[in-house]
Amino acid sequence: MIASDKIEQLIDRFQFLEAKMADGTAGNEIAALGKEYAELRPVVETVTAYKDLVTQIADAEAMLSDPEMKELAEAELPDLKAALEASEHDVQLALLPKDAADGRPALLEIRPGTGGDEAGLFAADLLRMYQRYAEGQGWRFEILEESLSELGGVKEVVARIAGDGVFAKMKY
């Protein structure tokens, strides 16, 4: 079960941040408020979806007493309860504390293993894969150091990947 007091504190903080930003604050304070607001927004959206499901289940259970609506409510309740379980899991994940390094850029080093030229070609494919992944995520991919072989393979490459949540996705 999810602690409702923690959820309410998050929602209250989110609403406070919205109000504070709408009132207009100093330039240096607005950046800090905007960052906290951006971090809380997905959590509050997940919590709001969870609360909506709880309300829908309560409404469906109330409809069970109405003979005309009983059949519809019985058909709807299993789907709602399954969605509630998934939503509760999403809320629990959203409430986990974030790692301080998750927003930082990542350095990527690729070196071929043993295997000669084939390993260098594979390393080049791996580099292109990471470049395409970074582009798909909207991240900046910058090659800092690069050493290529005669066949177009990679001997060594170091790249910097920067953007929103890069380290969180790339650390594992």
Model pLDDT for residues 131-145, shown as the tens digit of each residue: 999 999 999 999 999
| Cα separation values, 91 from 31, 85, 132, Å | 26, 10, 31
Tell which phi-psi region holds residue 116, choosing left (phi > 0), alpha (psi between -120 and 50) or beta: left
pLDDT at res. 98: 76
Q: Which helix H or strand E contains 141, and what residues bound it?
A: strand 140-148
**CA neighbor of 84 nearest in space, from 109, 114, 54, 117:** 54
pLDDT of residue 138: 95
Q: Are strands 106-110 and 154-162 parallel, antiparallel or unpaired?
A: antiparallel
| Entry pTM | 0.61
Q: What are the phi and psi torsion angles at 26 (to 5°)?
A: -65, 155
Average the pLDDT over 51-70 and give the result. Answer: 87
89 has a pLDDT exceeding 80: yes
pLDDT band at 26; cut points 50, 70, 90: low
Q: Where does the pLDDT of residue 116 fall: very low under 50, low under 70, confident under 90, or very high at 90 and above?
A: confident
Dist CA 152 CA 113 (whole Å): 16
pLDDT(118) > 80: yes
At residue 2, what is the residue type? I
Burial class (CB in 10 A: 0-12, 13-18, 19+), 14: buried
**What's the length of the chain?**
172
